[in-house]
Amino acid sequence: MQQFIVDAFTDQVFKGNPAAVCLPDRPLTDETMLNIAAENKLSETAFLTEEAGGYRLRWFTPEAEIDLCGHATLATAFVVLTILTPDKDEVAFQTQSGTLTVRREDGFFWMDFPAYDLTEVPVTDQMAEALGVRPTKAYLGRDLLCRLDREEEVRDLIPDQDKLADLDGLLVHVTARGEDYDMVSRSFGPKIGIAEDPVCGSGHCHIFPYWAGALDQTAFKGYQASARGGEIDGRLVGDRVQLGGQAALFSRSDIFLPDDERDE
């Protein structure tokens, strides 16, 4: 089985967020896909299969399947549009979050994703203890989004992973107004085996809608201030978020599975 590792939301390797993209040559069990993701030890491993003239896309963290992942979708679109079908500029994926389309425009890959509805929730002592700093505001969608006062607080954050796992939401995102970008953010997912996601696309389906209201604008340039770092562009169109970024191919390889690792 072919596997590609692509660094997403960057134009150079060793930056952005690495995702594995697997092209199964036979049906795989969920257990096998989870085992592969655990073996890769990346935030997400994507599995792309062809069906009825189109593509089915699934994403696995080292511990669980997830319903939406931006950087692994970008990585998969990069593989499809630059390696598998380089004559095309658009691809659609059937996923747990519906049909997701990705279009290549001037070297960027623009993904059309759903925006999460955010509900403001009280800032709690539990949040402050988990983050090591008290948020000024907090919102809950699929994930918990916490706004901090200053960019330096986001960059310098050293959260308590065990306490983060006790907070509401699947992931926890922190964000603040940026100096060189509209916002800077970081994303943490200890509940699904991700201490810190280097650049989180689905997180920006929370982050960009929040800042749309706070800044009264619909186009953004964000920076994910992880150790690897990564840039992510955004546009709000109705109840959808368009996420834009570049990608760089790190490796291509073959995975060798036992003969019984198949979906009977």
In this structure, are strands 194-197 and 183-189 parallel, antiparallel, or unpaired? antiparallel
Chain position carrying tokens 């926890």: 172
Alpha-carbon span 33 to 78, nearest angstrom: 21
- Between the alpha carbon of residue 128 and those of residues 122, 169, 175, 197, the distances in Å are 12, 15, 14, 20
Q: In this structure, are residues 3 and 224 in contact, taking their beta carbons and an 8 Å threshold?
A: no
Catalytic residue among 44, 151, 153, 231: 44
Among 1, 16, 2, 141, CA closest to 74: 16
Residue 44 annotated in active site? yes
Catalytic annotation, residues: 44
